[in-house]
Structure 1
Amino acid sequence: MRTDEVAFMVGESRIAGTLHLPDGEGPHPAVVIVHGSGAVDRFGIDGTLRPVITHFAASGYATLSYDKPGVGESSGRWMDQTFDDRAAETLLAVRFLAGRPDVDACHIGLWAISQGGWTAPLTATLAPGEIDFTILVSASAMTPCEQSMHQLNTELTRDGFTAHDIGRAVEVMERRTAGMRAGRAGADILATEPLWLAGEPWYPYCETDEEELDYVRPIWHFDVSPLMRRLSCPVLAIWGADDVHMPAQRCAATFAADLAAARHPDFRLQVYPHADHRLRVSRTCALAPGYLDDMTHWLSCRSGTADAAARPPSPAGD
């Protein structure tokens, strides 16, 4: 495996990343990494994307991961991006790879995690002829608003707060949501919150700032279901059963219904037991057994290079 430091332009922003290339001349099938939320560099929070990137490259896939705008060596500002902006950026990354002689332009797909699970389906529906497959990891079938409410409830319940405290935290979130729906600026919304709220023990779970509220306003009620029904490329969607960010089984069931309703011919949904949002087991750095191999086995089946009798995916709730 070798690496190539690369960059491509998105408007006036220079997006910098690393392309991990398998051994051999190619052209190689390729994967574009689609990040989750926040200020994420090319290797993910605390380097959590390194094993994923390395595994893809070792399995024969050129793998591009880049710093989000304004992070690392990339210019721009990720907090100015809507999902439409992120999808346009992702498509430019795909087209950048397609222009390289060492990449097979007919076999470029997306690997997306968390918030990227809203971005990747949007990208794939923008240019269905250019996206060969989509892998969604910890992707929400809920709106960002619904997911945030679920996470708030789950974390407060897990940490022993009373139903009364949870209700008060939810009320704060609901008031902010109403303010965003009315088009109010984040600073104005927060200015109406009593200062004593910050002293409540549950408040850190829903604490935010005006910049974050302005960032989430245009994406807060984004519904991915219509996009899932329009996807035409093969889809693999993966969750950890112990993900506190979202209800994994509910999301899997929603995606299954969306894809079945669209009579999608090629999709697989998998929930790994005891795994968290990043597919780690029991709050350790160990990834769920079989997770990495299952992805590349699924890809090899899509490309027709794997024997039908090859090792089946590890046990999980499909």
Structure 2
Amino acid sequence: MPEDLAAAEVSFQGSGGLVLHGSVISPAGARARSGRAGVVLVHGAGTGTKRDKLLGEAVAFARQGLSVLIYDKRSEGYSLFERSYSQLADDALGAVRTLRRQPGIDPAKVGIWGLSEGGWVAPLAASRSKDISFVILVGANALQPLRQQTWAVAAGLRKAGVRGSFVDRTEPTMYRAIADAGMFPEPYYDPEPVIASVRQPVLGIWGVHDLLTPPRETPPIFAKALEKGGNRQYTFRFFADADHAAHRTPDGGVTRLPELAPGYAELVGSWVGEATSGRAPVAQVTGPAPVQAEDTVAVPAAEWWEAAGVQGAALVLFLVAFGGYPVVALIRRVRRRGGVSSAVGRAGQGEAAPVKGAWLVSAGGLTVVVGAFVYLFYSIMTGGKLASPGPLVAGRPLIWLALQALAIATVVGTVLTCVRWRRSAPVGERVRVGLLVAGGVVFVPWALYWGLLLP
């Protein structure tokens, strides 16, 4: 800890009585005056997040004369597939109560700061407690989480140079399926009514190059919701050359530097002083215009035919239809080598000539189905982190282009197989090839839906 600051360890009860641990960082020595304002920092999304992730902000704010509480985020009840903003808000309220009791702090001057996901949590906590005297939001989002996430991953992919159906169609389709399967927590949480119920002064901060929260769309929604609730004590500030967390970025939001945007910490210190003395600015918006290349797009709940269960059934059909064809061929070959072929097999079942196109449908369809989901999962997991999805050709990932080519080949193979099957398929092949054709027929609308047959 720097010599000009002091740290005190604290513990408190969060939601459900869970004990959480944190640190209060305050000015030391002569600067440790009594009657200080304090602020609780609420993490963004992430599992296993420790307090030191926000240590840079805590040190910067403490040097502005504030006492700052940072704490380890809960892991119980919080994971990639499970979380509750209400529960996280109650955790934050436990931290607020603890900070208000610390020596030297004026309990009437304690507020809350939320980053990213914390931008949903902090307003919820503030709406529940009059003990919170102000709210600071950084990279906050006024949209539904699923809408924000699909935009963020798409923005990351576009930043990497990706264009076409993969980013416009396939990526949001995947997220809708994930949400329908219950694997995306709080997908349709609506923050606007909560924002409208916040009565405390609000400081909203956005980096101009935010690639995780749409920086052009979000602030007007915040302002409209606050004013709908009669709250005009808000200050919005945009910082140039800053990213989602208002840290400096040298390359338009791709790289985050350790340093905060110049003037960010000073703004927090001065604004808190004004807000806690009853002089919070009214409807003030300053700073350069944010950069947002694409608008967000609504992500409605899946229709019945898009539901995760239906998609899962389609995958089972593909695995059976496409995978069953070579499996049966392998079994027949093993049986022939073992000399246990049946009389029917000797008569022609095991020796039947392959139907033209059948192996293309089997191999192509199976490769597309498995390969598409493996690649899509990888791209979604890394897209929001601005990782390149591999080599690009005309803005299309090379791997995705290969899968699209195989998808077209599978459709062509299905047509050829269907024609040959109906004309002269051997009796022993009718069921096996019929199942393969059924899989190929279902594959066409499925591949269109997932963007595999779209440019």
TM bucket normalised to smaller:
0.7 to 0.9
Candidates 261, 273, 294, aligned match of 1:300: 273
Shift of 1:291: 1.3
CA distance, structure 1, for counterparts of residue 23 and residue 116 of structure 2 = 21
- The corresponding residue for 1:178 is 180
Counterparts in 2 of 1:145 and 1:305: CA distance versus 1, 3 Å: closer
- The corresponding residue for 1:3 is 7
Is the contact made by 2:237 and 2:286 (CA closer than 8 Å) also made in structure 1? no
* TM-score (norm: length of structure 1): 0.78
Is the contact made by 1:281 and 1:287 (CA closer than 8 Å) also made in structure 2? no
Is the contact made by 2:137 and 2:204 (CA closer than 8 Å) also made in structure 1? yes
Shift of 1:261: 2.4
- The corresponding residue for 1:66 is 71
Shift of 1:5: 1.1
How does 1:1-318 map onto structure 2 within 5 Å?
A: 1-10=5-14, 11-23=16-28, 24=32, 26-38=34-46, 39-44=48-53, 49-70=54-75, 76-79=76-79, 81-127=83-129, 129-166=130-167, 167-180=169-182, 213=183, 216-217=184-185, 219-279=186-246, 280-282=248-250, 283=255, 284-304=257-277, 315-317=287-289
CA distance, structure 2, for counterparts of residue 269 and residue 313 of structure 1 = 5
CA distance, structure 1, for counterparts of residue 222 and residue 98 of structure 2 = 30
Counterparts in 2 of 1:78 and 1:170: CA distance versus 1, 3 Å: closer
CA distance, structure 1, for counterparts of residue 149 and residue 285 of structure 2 = 31
Q: Deviations over 1:264-293 (max 9, x none)?
A: 131011122231112122233332221111
- The corresponding residue for 1:202 is none
Counterparts in 2 of 1:119 and 1:81: CA distance versus 1, 3 Å: same
Counterparts in 2 of 1:86 and 1:149: CA distance versus 1, 3 Å: same
Is the contact made by 1:141 and 1:251 (CA closer than 8 Å) also made in structure 2? yes
Q: Secondary structure at the match of 2:97?
A: helix
Task: Give the counterpart letter for 2:59 in structure 1.
Answer: T
CA distance, structure 2, for counterparts of residue 62 and residue 260 of structure 1 = 30
- The corresponding residue for 1:188 is none
Q: Deviations over 1:86-136 (max 9, x none)?
A: 111111111112233432111110011000000000000111x21100000
Shift of 1:237: 0.5
Specify every segment of 5 or more residues in structure 2 that has no aligned partner in the other structure, as ranges: 291-455
Q: Deviations over 1:143-171 (max 9, x none)?
A: 11000110122112121223122122222
CA distance, structure 1, for counterparts of residue 262 and residue 100 of structure 2 = 33
Task: Give the counterpart letter for 2:124 in structure 1.
Answer: L
- The alignment's C-alpha RMSD in Å is 2.4
Shift of 1:314: 7.9
Is the contact made by 2:112 and 2:122 (CA closer than 8 Å) also made in structure 1? yes
Is the contact made by 2:64 and 2:266 (CA closer than 8 Å) also made in structure 1? no
CA distance, structure 1, for counterparts of residue 33 and residue 274 of structure 2 = 22
CA distance, structure 2, for counterparts of residue 132 and residue 304 of structure 1 = 10
Is the contact made by 2:116 and 2:213 (CA closer than 8 Å) also made in structure 1? no
Q: Secondary structure at the match of 1:227?
A: helix
Q: Deviations over 1:177-207 (max 9, x none)?
A: 2333xxxxxxxxxxxxxxxxxxxxxxxxxxx
Task: Give the counterpart letter for 1:42 in structure 2.
Answer: R
Equivalenced residue count is 270
Q: Give aligned-pair identity as a percent.
A: 27
Q: Secondary structure at the match of 1:18?
A: strand
Counterparts in 2 of 1:132 and 1:54: CA distance versus 1, 3 Å: same
CA distance, structure 2, for counterparts of residue 159 and residue 317 of structure 1 = 22
Is the contact made by 2:238 and 2:287 (CA closer than 8 Å) also made in structure 1? no
- The structure number with the bigger radius of gyration is 2
- The corresponding residue for 2:363 is none
Task: Give the counterpart letter for 2:261 in structure 1.
Answer: A
